[in-house]
Amino acid sequence: MKKYSPRRDFVIVEDYFTPRQAAQWLALILKKGSDPIRGFHHPHVKANRFHKNPKYPVKKYMCLGLYWDPRDYHYYPVIPDFNVRPYPIPRELEDLTFKILEEHFPTPSFSPEGVLINFYTDDSTMGLHIDKDEEAQDSPVIGLNFGSTCRFFFEDEGGEMKEVRIPGNSVYIFGGSARGMKHGVGTIYSKTLSAGAEKYLKNKERINLTIRQIYRAPA
């Protein structure tokens, strides 16, 4: 494992997953992702002055727990178009989240309520944005990365944009002073598939899960 902090309160742990663990997580995600309603789909996003029905930049997208709707940036207990609940967050994913936080980003309490899963292909990018749709802004965001390496942009403490390469089989956590940092994903690099992903992903494919607490705990 190689752990480093590209800025305060933003931690990356490379080689967090063994190839075997990565293969197990990918098998689980892709099985859920194959469901025609709760699985991967290409949602619409908020209309803008150029497009009435623009589409989300990452073609394959799904949620566990609560559903984040890219049309209005709200979290819902059901997938709005189908009135069907997303798959719940598997117990083993909750346990993994607690373990990652305990080992790498001690946090007094954390309740995993929503997981966004982005399946990047060679034509996907994710524009710069701030994760501000969760009420629980004191809770960190935990990212699990599988497959190809990506170029990841983030805002440093001085407001300047910097970049790192985030490989598959790694995790990242940003919270505290970094919770409101701008970030985004650029190029997905060719021929960088991480060990364990070969059977599940093609060249330039990447799967990222971000695990979040959405609501503030009652006082």
Ligand X SMILES: O=C(O)CCC(=O)C(=O)O
List residues near ligand X by CB under 6 A. Answer: 116, 118, 126, 131, 143, 183, 185, 208, 210
Nearest CB to ligand X, comparing residues 67 and 219: 67
CB nearer to ligand X: pick between 101 and 126: 126
DSSP type of residue 5: E
Q: How far is the CB of 185 from ligand X (least distance, A)?
A: 5
The residue number whose beta carbon is nearest to ligand X equals 208
In the complex, least distance from residue 33 CB atom to ligand X, rounded to whole angstroms = 15
Do 173 and 102 touch, CB atoms closer than 8 A? Answer: no
Q: Give the closest residue to 37 by CA, choosing from 75, 77, 80, 89.
A: 80
Q: Which residue lies nearer to ligand X by CB, 85 or 165?
A: 165
Q: Tell me whether residue 61 is exposed, middle or buried, using C-beta atoms within 10 angstroms of its C-beta: 0 to 12, 13 to 18, 19 or more.
A: buried
d(CA 5, CA 138): 19
CB of 218 to ligand X, least distance (A): 26
Q: What are phi and psi of 21, to 5 degrees?
A: -65, -45
Please report, as a single letter, which amino acid is at residue 73.
Answer: Y
Based on CB atoms, which residue is closest to ligand X, 101 or 171? 171
The least CB distance from residue 77 to ligand X, in Å, is 19
CB of 116 to ligand X, least distance (A): 5
| Separation between Cα atoms, residue 2 and residue 153, nearest integer Å | 19
Nearer residue to ligand X within complex by CB, 87 or 218? 87
Q: Least CB distance from residue 107 to ligand X, whole Å? A: 18
Give the nearer residue to ligand X in terms of CB position, either 85 or 151.
Answer: 151
What does the alpha-carbon distance between residue 181 and residue 94 come to, in Å, rounded to a whole number? 24
CA–CA dist 148, 162 (Å, integer) = 20
Contact 194, 169 (CB under 8 A): yes
